[in-house]
Structure 1
Amino acid sequence: MKRSIVFFIILFSDILSAQDCYPFNLNILQSQSAVEDSIKPVFKDGSFVFTNILNGRKVLDKKFQEAYPFFHNIAIVKFNDQYNLVDREGVFLIDKNLPDESNRPHYSRNMLVFRDFQYFYGAQNKEYVPASEREYSKSKFLEAYKSEESGKYGFTVTDRFNKEICPPMYDSIISLSENFVLARIDKKYGLENNTAHTVIPYDYDEALPFNKEQNNQVHQQFLGFKKRKNWFYFDWNGNLILKSKHEVSVLSNYSGDVIGAVKKNGKFSILYRNGVLKDFLFDHVSENVNLGFIGNDVYYINSNQTMSAYYSYDPEQKFDKISIREVSPFGYWSELTIDKNTVTFKDSESKGKMVEKKTDPKAWMKLYELFCWCDYIGLGESGNRTKVDGTDIFVRIYKDGISIPKYTPNFYGVSEKIGDFGNLLMNFRERGVVKD
């Protein structure tokens, strides 16, 4: 079977909490924002558009409810309330229905994960591949052990065929990956490969541990060692990339241009492989050092030593209009629109005749006080979005004319506050407009 980039869809139940106030999956964004890619989605005027961040020009005509950076020329998007994959030409790659909004996708390094679905998607030949036909790499697993006799440490190398034992020769083992060992001998740190061949000599006073591993593999591009007052950053072949006085708090993953993030006085800056250290602007950075956060705004960290906006967010923002549309499988429908001045209602029973009333100022202020943006965004992340009889409810919150839709929200599944907000909306519909 020919090798292909494979997206694997498996059982997955990772549901974002209501504390995540972003209308997108931050895990996907952090996992797959390639620093080197200049084509990235940007939130603008209520939707995501793919943009060339070097010149600010839109590169695809389509607008998406959610959009994530390209990963091997494929990106996850949400369009017309359905998740899909698009290529760089904007062509949708999946022609079958995917899970509804309650099952958001998730990236996990070469895998696209949806809850309740299990299949592969071959990105190159654009077809589904049975799980039994997937090619698995001959991965190795390294594990440290301590000798009871000498008190020294060694490691074992296990693959699908056999197990090899490296004798105990280390004072301590700091990190292990599929192919490398970061250890200390005679109070000095160095790096070896899994055959105990020295890659970086034991000549350094400190060393940075490997980043968090994924499937026993480390994807960071650089290693950090300190000698006296300077830090030395190497690649995995032992080539010196940069000598710097700056210690990074987090080593970057996947990027060949970003060494990592440096922290000073509670703020983060980015150290690039050419030695440039940008201003300390970020409140925090992603674990891959590809995203920076200033307040609630999310920025891409780019290879050309710039930052560019992905999404701007105000947790205190309120609404200026709310609309609710209810559609029953038995043919009934209704539409309710509420703003500061007017409540408008129409339904199928009145054959679309519009009823208007002045908005009760006290009820409007109560809605305003009860509304919580985090809870509202969280509504789409849990539970069945339909009533017992199958009725769908579409709620849209408008801010400055921009609609942020939620499909069939469960007002009682997130918090007491949002439940009260939902009850008050129903009262607007049932008492404030229809009944005198």
Structure 2
Amino acid sequence: MNAKASIAFCIVTMFATSCAPRQTQPSTDLPHDEMNASTDFTSISPPSTSSSAQQAPSSTVRPTQPVTKPLFTRVGQIPEDADLLGNEDGVFTVNNRWDARSVTSYSPTGELRGILNYELSAGVSVEAGCTTFLLEHKPFPRIAMLSNVEQPPAGIQPGKVEYFVSVYDGEGMQQIWKKKVFEEEGDSSYVSCNDGEPPMSVTSDGKWIVLPARNGSSFILDAESGDSRTVESRAAAAGNYLVATQDWYEEITTLDPATLAPLYHSSSTTESSSPKVTDILDDFFDGSGRTIDGRRVLSRDGNNVLDLANGTVSTGPIFHGSLSSQIPVVTEPASNRVYINTFTPNSEDYSPGFGATAYDLSSNEALWMQPHIEDICGASPDSVLVRAGSQLAVLSAENGDQISYTAALSSCDPVFGEFMYVSEDDQGTIGIYRVLE
């Protein structure tokens, strides 16, 4: 399953503050043989209301939230397809088999919402793996899709390819609009899911769609209406903004997507700061930019934060150790935190020692650090999901203490909202587990 989801990248430092250990709550672990049985896991009972359960510390009760099932409870399942998109409001499976291409939407806990079958008439091409995008929208996310129609040559008339963008209501998968954006001469599409650069991008707020053309220009579409404007350079979405380049990322201009007015210009030949603004922004052209929220992005080495609105670079968390530039961070914008997980060499035998550190982006201070963590899977304002060896654990976002753990799940699968979507290859399903508070 090629799921599009936030994974984690990582660090080891010393504690900024020390905290007393927190007593781990017993998990609702399911042995592997029970996880793979045909039992109806959606019927698992809620937490016990016995007197012993009622004696739990009052600090663990959040009266503003409804009573939910214990951590690591399996709450549902959906059929497994090639790709998985989603957020805390809804989830989509994308099936790109030629004979049955479709996008299906579900509630976060797996209730079916809608099915969209792709148009498969002659000449229509949809590469689902890289041309279907999630659009942020309330109360349910939407889907934007790129497709093209290839018209063969007709005598002296050359062939051409027409490119269309469609937006669908995610909950019922009804088409909101479809627009022919441009056409070009030729007998084959430039769109490929194997060239490392996504053919389309969308802003973090789901308001704008960016479609580059092969001639070097780009089309900016209003996600609500489909209205289109042209930028005479290669463009991409970056947070809630746009970046455009004409000189292979050596010169990059940041644009306001509503007006297309330039906000500032960055040049790798004149910038003296390190890292250069162009080095941070060029990651968005291949889809690897690290967005903290709609306005802020993290530099490739993780040590600087760029304000997309004005081009200001400020010092970010200072990491001690080796940080991979290929693995994204886990950010939690609501609490203004970033969670980093990397390794530092052991001074005695040079073996790596793993750990995770939480940073406050307001002060760039380390809030807490926990050793023995190999991956960070996801985060909410209250908790952090991590992988330690062959087990998963949930930590308190406040102090890093362990809340619960399980040996029944062992890998970081996609996390949307409070749920993790676990590929169950032997059953052809994706199991849905509650993993965050």
TM-score, normalised on structure 1? Answer: 0.39
Task: Name which one, 1 or 2, has greater alpha-carbon Rg.
Answer: 1
TM-score, normalised on structure 2? Answer: 0.39
